[in-house]
Structure 1
């Protein structure tokens, strides 16, 4: 009952996406199963129960995953307390685990430009034009994977040279796009029309069969083409988002402007890219300064 009430709260009040809500529910169901083995329930869980769960999770989960599950519990019990469904909060004294700091993985700007300017990597058929547009959109706008899939043809404003992106929690933002990317989008849509898929889908990016794109398709596209220019183990759509932000920062963009373009809720999330910029400066210094 508690889980269902919390799910409704996330859906109707917080307006979280279905994917996010499912992740919250899975965490709570996992904790509920753990409590069942200890012959207790949400309503009677105590601090030692939460600590014991963390100890168990540490056997097969990393610190970031465990902290996310703890965040779920905090939100859950805070909700139950606020709604006067429970008086106890077993998570109050629990501290988050320390997470090792890792710099975002990025691909160098010149390598990405070389890939996108290449005349022999992307084919000239529908799938080739679509694939190039996918990479260009991710690197050119910094949008998230889920945002990319949700883009509709009508979200592209050719006159104002921008694209409307629906971000997390239904927050909309407008991101400028360059003329060469707009030209590529036009070319793609013309090719899309020529395919005569026979549906009225307004989604911008579609499969070879004309259906709305899905996450694993985008992952495959990005991984395939990034493999031409990098040997980094991580070659995901989010790497292109990181590369977008880092390129802007390296070329003098204001951090607050980058925050707005990325759709971050706070500046703290954007500041991680300053570390990449500092590392780049250190590298240049070591190469160029005689006393380095």
Structure 2
């Protein structure tokens, strides 16, 4: 079945996280169900744009946000691109589709004060779990890596002597990231505690649960939400906000945009530029406070 082949492709060749793969699969199966019920079409490989547009209209009328609809359509578009690439389809029915307009979403990063407090004042238990949780936060903030990259980080890819580590990002793109001195010490301390685990089921991976298994996405989210709730009143406290914070703080300190792009593993500069609005706000503040003309 084409859908099964596509899902395998996302998981095995594109190295997408299980969460992302499930989201793609659900979107496509939702469309498949709509096509079968409304148009008696059991093979969505034969769907045309008119049918897809009817689905989009139904989603709009159901009150689903334009952002969510765009994501669903993007999943379907990726599926048809896959069919084109495998020569199972000659024309992508969504080739000329334009995404629905959505309001710009500004994600607020953690402040430097919040980061200092969560890493310097919050009490972490002196156990394996406590040291792991603190290292998760420290590593995400110090390097800007994605949640999936942290989860899949392998011991063999960490070079403490050289002060770098390697991550496998989107589209199987590898990149080398430098380690701060304080982060190297934290990793060393955590790894010593890690060896005290009674059983280790997934020895290749850096981050493990107390049962010795590789950590998972919801665990990382809970760690971030738990500790930042002690220092921040922000509504959104997630691993992605830490990635956003990493980029914003570097730019606020004058880091080159291209360098930040490479550290984040972005394929285009446009993806990195979304973080510059906070940097510009910082520049405005400095400009207003320092420029002589502002006092007139």
Report if TM-score (shorter chain) is over 0.5: yes
| In structure 1, distance between residues paired with 2:125 and 2:71 | 41
Q: Which residue of 2 aligns with 1:72?
A: 75
| In structure 1, distance between residues paired with 2:102 and 2:59 | 15
Structure 1 residue 47 displacement after superposition: 2.8
| In structure 2, distance between residues paired with 1:4 and 1:121 | 47
Q: Which residue of 1 aligns with 2:272?
A: 270
| In structure 2, distance between residues paired with 1:26 and 1:263 | 27
Q: 1:55 to 1:287 in 2, by over 3 A?
A: farther
SS in 1 for 2:39: coil
| In structure 2, distance between residues paired with 1:82 and 1:154 | 34
CA contact (8 A) 2:197 2:210 kept: no
Q: Which residue of 2 aligns with 1:202?
A: 204
Gaps of 5+ in 2: none
Q: Which residue of 1 aligns with 2:178?
A: 176
Structure 1 residue 199 displacement after superposition: 4.7
Q: Which residue of 1 aligns with 2:31?
A: 31
Q: 1:191 to 1:32 in 2, by over 3 A?
A: same
What per-residue deviation string (whole Å, max 9, x for no partner) do you get for residues 193-227 of structure 1? Answer: 12333556121111122221111111111111111
* Mean Cα deviation higher: 39-48 or 266-275: 39-48
Q: CA RMSD in A?
A: 2.4
Please give the residue correspondences for 1:225-244 in structure 2 after superposition, counting only pairs within 5 Å.
225-244=227-246
SS in 2 for 1:38: helix
CA contact (8 A) 2:124 2:131 kept: yes
CA contact (8 A) 2:202 2:214 kept: no
CA contact (8 A) 1:51 1:94 kept: no
The alignment status of 1:103 with 2:106, answered yes or no, reads: yes
Q: Which residue of 2 aligns with 1:148?
A: 150
What per-residue deviation string (whole Å, max 9, x for no partner) do you get for residues 2-56 of structure 1? Answer: 3234445545665555544433222221111111122243255333322221122
- Matched residue count: 291
| In structure 2, distance between residues paired with 1:133 and 1:63 | 37
Please give the residue correspondences for 1:241-260 in structure 2 after superposition, counting only pairs within 5 Å.
241-260=243-262
* Mean Cα deviation higher: 121-130 or 174-183: 121-130
* Mean Cα deviation higher: 1-10 or 262-271: 1-10
Q: Which residue of 2 aligns with 1:167?
A: 169
Query: What stretches of structure 1 move > 6 A for 4+ residues in a row?
Result: none
Q: 1:128 to 1:150 in 2, by over 3 A?
A: same
What per-residue deviation string (whole Å, max 9, x for no partner) do you get for residues 269-290 of structure 1? Answer: 1000111211233344566664
Q: 1:162 to 1:13 in 2, by over 3 A?
A: closer
The alignment status of 1:62 with 2:73, answered yes or no, reads: no
Q: 1:246 to 1:203 in 2, by over 3 A?
A: same
Scaled by the length of structure 2, the TM-score of the pair is 0.88
